[in-house]
Structure 1
Amino acid sequence: LSFPTPSPQTAPPPRALYTHALNVQGRCLYELILYRLHESQEEEPNILVECDSTVLDSLQKHLKLYKIRRKVNIVPCLDLSLWAIIPGEQSGDISSILDKCADKTLVLTPDPRAEVMGWRLITKKKENPLEIVPGSHIGNIRDYHRHRYKQGIAEGVNDIPPGVALPLESNLAYMNGISFTKGCYIGQELTARTHHTGVIRKRLLPVQLSAPLPLGSIPEGAAILTESGKSAGKYRAGGDELGIALLRLANINEPLRISLPGDANVTLTAAVPNWWPKTTN
């Protein structure tokens, strides 16, 4: 769905939380968005968990490890549909419009990761989102991925490989995905130490290729090289001419290239997203 950007001043209180499960080495395992369905602390907690569909089974097993003897039911919600209401080119404040739509659906809330990602909408599969959000139009999953690649928003196991990606290099602190004030959690030691030293040499960045390429043309984790052949990072994922890559910050302003099978090369340029904090490491 596409719509103008909502204004943060009039947006409703957040109902969503962006988070990750880490392993003991402090690397990302599961990327999650949690949606609170209960209205008050007096009600029985009821939380929806959004994840990459390819890790649904393994995530359920992971959560059940920490259930212990608590009376917690963990079940897939296969009767629900997830929509992204992404900002359109026109400006305007749609917060009041979306507020009036909130009672028509299960969840309608600002995306907790970044304002540029608009709103998240969860409905029953039989519901038509065009009837819920008037004035919008339905795009496709390719439109959604192009939008987030332009913004440098990582999502899913291709962008954030389980057991490989580090949370700070994946910009999770910029996307409200890390708390530095909560109590202990698995993977906290490396994450907190890296944060407090303030030295992060690589980050995920949006990249644009010199020419559109068919999906799968660039091997997963392909090396990105400088003009002199020095390693500058790794390509994570993308589509057509847009993608996302883990790059050394020292090299992002240099000419970069990827060597493809058959002795071919494709050049690419990286950019720092506008939504990042102005002072970054």
Structure 2
Amino acid sequence: MNQIAALPSRAVIAVSGPDARSFLNGLLSQEVETLASSELRFSGLLTPQGRLLYDLFVAGVEDGLLLDVAAEHRDAILTRLTMYKLRAKVELAASPLGVFAAWPAAGGFPDPRLPALGSRLYAEDQATTATEDDYEAHRLALGVPGPADWGTDKTYPIEADFDLLNGIDFKKGCFVGQETTSRMKRRGTIKNRMLPIVFDGPAPAFGTEVLAGELRAGEVLSGRDGRAMALLRLDRIEGADLTADGRAVTVDRPDWLPAA
């Protein structure tokens, strides 16, 4: 049975004008110039130092582009994009469209991160059969991290698995934060990744240490009963007995994530 949920934690920015694609292409971690109408791409807006400021989806539509962003950050994203605009022929505006998720995919734009996530729809109104909490449980079950896990200006996008979820195009031209991102990938210096963990009972508090014996192996991020995301040191979790808050935890490596 298809589930459709409104995602009030998300909001839409409309981008139009002859320079819209080239403008965004120079800023975002994903290629935008070749984005087709009716296509959706996952991306990040980074700091010049390569840390993740905001996640976003870019949707190609007939009269321009739509940016699917965190609702709490829409004004800040509009301000930042306007700062970068300079003389580019681009129009940026908050859109009244709402964001909806359907799983399995049912119309709209297939989610570019993972087919099992379904599709995303942009409309002022849409009949729903589920809640955003249901969708978050679905996302977490697939082991896909979300905005609550990476915060703002704290995490490198590769640590948040953007490279494995089609959020970075390493073949495109320059974008803000590209140098650090490309260097991490090229040198293989990926020491930490967000991975799902399972345990008995309620989720440990955000920031709780994950220990491998007496060694710090990472920290718990967002979660719910029995399951959470964690930012983990890859060199300390293989074959280790892990604990958090005095309880045993186990890494549940999703099938989309390559073996260590």
TM-score norm. by structure 1 comes to: 0.74
Matched, 1:76 2:76: no
Distance of 1:209 and 1:56 partners within structure 2: 35
Q: 5+ residue gaps in structure 2?
A: 4-35
After the TM superposition, list the runs of 4 or more consecutive aligned residues in structure 1 that deviate by more than 3 angstroms.
none
CA contact under 8 A between 1:252 and 1:271: conserved in structure 2?
no
Range moving further from structure 2, 250-259 or 145-154: 250-259
**What's 1:132 paired with?**
none
SS in 2 for 1:182: coil
Aligned alpha-carbon RMSD (Å): 2.2
Matched, 1:86 2:103: yes
CA contact under 8 A between 2:197 and 2:251: conserved in structure 1?
yes
Distance of 2:198 and 2:226 partners within structure 1: 6
Distance of 1:58 and 1:273 partners within structure 2: 33
SS in 2 for 1:186: coil
- Which residue, 140, 143, 151 being the options, matches 2:131? 140
Distance of 1:171 and 1:124 partners within structure 2: 31
- Counting matched residue pairs gives 227
State how 1:11-22 maps to structure 2 within 5 Å.
15-22=39-46
**What's 1:58 paired with?**
76
SS in 1 for 2:44: strand
1:128 to partner: Cα distance? 2.4
**What's 2:191 paired with?**
201
Matched, 1:2 2:2: yes
- Which residue, 225, 228, 237 being the options, matches 1:240? 225
1:171–1:14 distance in 2 versus 1, CA, 3 Å:
farther
Distance of 2:247 and 2:55 partners within structure 1: 30
1:2–1:242 distance in 2 versus 1, CA, 3 Å:
farther
1:80 to partner: Cα distance? 1.9
Range moving further from structure 2, 203-212 or 16-25: 203-212
1:181 to partner: Cα distance? 0.8
Distance of 2:183 and 2:140 partners within structure 1: 29
**What's 1:266 paired with?**
247
State how 1:115-134 maps to structure 2 within 5 Å.
115-125=115-125, 127-128=126-127
Q: 5+ residue gaps in structure 1?
A: 4-11, 39-44, 88-93, 103-107, 130-137, 260-264
TM-score norm. by structure 2 comes to: 0.80
Which structure's CA Rg is the greater one? Answer: 1
SS in 1 for 2:161: coil
1:178 to partner: Cα distance? 0.5
Amino acid at match of 1:206: P
